[in-house]
Amino acid sequence: MRIEEKLYTLRYKKDDKSHLKILDGDKCLECEKEYGDPQPCISICPANVYTWQNNKIVIGYENCVECGACRIACPFENILWNYPKYGKGIALRYG
């Protein structure tokens, strides 16, 4: 089963603004050189939030399951990781 299909099982309310942000795009280039493809944030994310497109990390924050692993895995501490606001984001039924 594809990740996108798995993510369909989650109740979700989309926040207008992304709760995730890359601080410095140059560091992503450096990271790509050092760690190759896929970079740590891409490979640790269980929800396909991060993709590498045109030498940039693109964030699909609406996929995020709010685990926090990308922030910990980033070797450059380059991910600004916040919680979604106003009760938005995922809402688990089993947990």
Partner 1 sequence: MLEYDIVIVGAGPAGSAAALRASSSGKKVLVLERGPEPGSKNVSGAMVRKDYVTSVFGEGMPFERNVERIKLSLYNKDKPVNIEFSPENLVTTGRLKFDKWLSSVSENAGAMVIPKTTALKVNWDNGIAKSITTDRGEVSAKSFVLAEGVNSLLSMESKIKYDLKPENAVQTVKEVYSVKKEDINSMFNMKNESSGVAWRYIMTDPLVAGFLYTYKDSISVGIGSPINQLVERKIRPEKLLDDFMEKTGISDMVKGYSLREYSAKVIPEAGFPDINVSKSNVYLCGDALGLVDPLTFDGISPAIASGTIAGDAAVSNIDPATYKYELMKSSEISKIAKERKLEAEFMSGDKAKEYIEMVSSIFSDWASGNLFGIRNTMVNNYRNIIPDLMGFAIKMR
Q: Which positions touch partner 1 (CB under 8 A)?
A: 1, 3, 6-7, 9-10, 13, 38, 40, 43-44, 46-47, 65-69, 71-73, 77, 81-87, 89-95
3-class secondary structure, 80 = strand
CA–CA separation, 54 and 4 (whole Å): 22
CA–CA separation, 42 and 87 (whole Å): 26
Choice between 36 and 53, CB closer to partner 1 = 36
Q: Is the separation of the CB atoms in 79 and 20 below 8 Å?
A: yes
- The minimum distance between CB 52 and partner 1, in angstroms, equals 13
- The minimum distance between CB 95 and partner 1, in angstroms, equals 3
